[in-house]
A and B are shown apart, each in its own frame.
Chain A
């Protein structure tokens, strides 16, 4: 009797072990997301993929930004690591890994699954930017624009959304006269204040010169529009940003905006969910920062298949599922107003701000990316420092431009 029981137990154990041995793991390394909707969307992707691939375990490893970048570096020097990794698509971020040969060329999968036709054009801007072939599948394209408090605009006597940069400055002056700070930014996270500098460069330089400056082909010291942009930055920092702002972060800045301490905030389309979760969303509006060009300010996040992925076909199937119309419809709005999938539309009962975002996306004639996406990491660090020095009144505009030029010249 005991022998029979032992035999059955052994056979059952062997069956279980062989089952486990056949199960395949797919590891995805991702950034941490704070919004419940985004976390739920990632969790839903695991459920959806495992449903169609019962013998696959999908493991999402989520980390903070710095930890994620460090983990990728460590993984790049070893034989282990993720099958799929998530990263911003700019030069100093995802682009660096593409150039280092850590991203699989996805051309065969773009053809096999028809991703090029499925995905929106702006979201694919970086796919072929950094190496031969196609690298990364966009899963998110985010735009950034000005959110404003309609009540505060009305209180300051501003009747309509500014259409030009001069109108925006005039609105800022009116707000100040009414005792209201125009913008709120958080200076401890350098990239928040940087957004203002980015859009000012687009405003003063226009498309070609701005692109030339960000690609480090133009000389910051001798390009008058660069000095002009720093001059404008100083104008805003001196009087039209809720002060003090260098000692607070973006979350505190948003809290102050909700508390009506400032009228405007330069934020991304992902902010709509956060506003809706925090306050009465009906009193807010959005308009693109009036740069005078028709380009939309924004950035993309891609999913890359690592060259060290054990099963690239399986990883590609995951990317295909994630960008599919069915799954994107399921998570629409989670990562912003616009899905990367062309066929996915917002539902009729979507939030008004989401609908306004769609209009902004539709009207955009192109895109320009955040400075920290455009520059390599060392230049980004210096760009942050120069902007902060200027905003803290420790550097004048010409010195700021000269400092950028000097750093680029000595490092490139």
Chain B
């Protein structure tokens, strides 16, 4: 009887369905997160049985003595700003183009989306070869065009390496923004566009005053997802430059990994991770609150 009652209650059913997932989530997501926070206050090399409590020492080190932390923070900020500007902008332009009735539109959409499904490490390898300063595609093309003087050490020059990587990142991620914008464009009511056209609005005015406002929820989602994705940028850096030359393309996620898994200073690596977590939460929490408020307003 007890068994029967247990399954008849909607609340019980929900609990039964959620508990296994919650258990797995706790074990593999929540606990590691808590452990990283604890580790950031400890000194541990991954071998020793003891983790020594050092208080704020790891944070003091990364803020005041770490020669790479501020470079990686600056790069992360630059990367994030670029990521919320260029992939969404190019994605929007592509979406607008591919929203028109074009021959081969479906194929073009698939082609532009294809890089999204390629593993980032494969993208990194591919682009690293294209950037080879001696035999790479870009150097060869420039040389063949008689513009060899424009060829650079794309990934070896600290002044341009970050931006060279970013081009590869845009190539891979622009399809993601494009698909979201395409979905958003489907939701723009044609009656509004027709009405604006009858009122004599130009194409730009239709876009500016009808399409763009209708796309604002999509734009917000794209920007937030782009921000989160850019803060987590790791594999493309790992695969293309490894943070070099001279750590000039390091980013917070990569530096946390390097400290923990290559230098094996898990305390400092965790402190860098916690800083990244705080920055991410500072962006995500306001978004979630805004999103919730918006949903409630709609209701």
Interface residues of A (CB under 8 A from B): 66, 69-70, 73, 76-77, 96-97, 100, 102, 187-188, 190, 243-248, 252, 256, 261, 377-378, 381-382, 384-386, 388-389, 392, 394, 403, 407, 410-411
Contacts and interface: CB of A to CB of B under 8 A. Distances in A.
A245 B49 CA distance: 42
A394 B158 contact: yes
Contacts of B48: 100
Contacts of B245: 187-188, 246-247, 388, 392
A233 B133 CA distance: 22
B47 A73 contact: yes
B258 interface: yes
B26 interface: no
B194 interface: no
19 contacts: A66-B261, A76-B47, A77-B46, A77-B47, A188-B155, A188-B242, A246-B153, A246-B244, A246-B245, A247-B131, A247-B153, A252-B132, A377-B263, A385-B67, A388-B245, A392-B157, A392-B245, A403-B67, A410-B61
Contacts, number: 92
Nearest to B242: A188
A245 B262 contact: no
Interface string B119-152: 0000000000001111000000000000000001
A252 B246 contact: no
Nearest to A411: B65
User: B65, B157, B242, B264: which has the most chain A beta carbons within 10 Å?
Assistant: B264
A394 B246 contact: yes
Q: Which 6 residue pairs across A and B have the least CB separation, nearest first?
A: A247-B156, A246-B156, A244-B153, A388-B246, A73-B46, A100-B47
Contacts of B241: 188
Contacts of B265: 378
Contacts of B133: 244, 247-248
User: B48, B61, B131, B154: which has the most chain A beta carbons within 10 Å?
Assistant: B48
B68 interface: yes
Contacts of A381: 258, 262-263
B247 interface: yes
A374 B156 CA distance: 26
A245 B132 CA distance: 10
Given A73-B46, A73-B47, A385 B156 contact: no
Given A381-B263, A388-B245, A246 B157 contact: yes
Given A252-B132, A377-B263, A385 B65 contact: no
A276 B244 CA distance: 32
Interface in B249-271: 258, 261-265
B74 to A, nearest CB: 15
B134 A392 contact: no
Given A187-B244, A252-B134, A410 B65 contact: yes
A378 B158 CA distance: 22
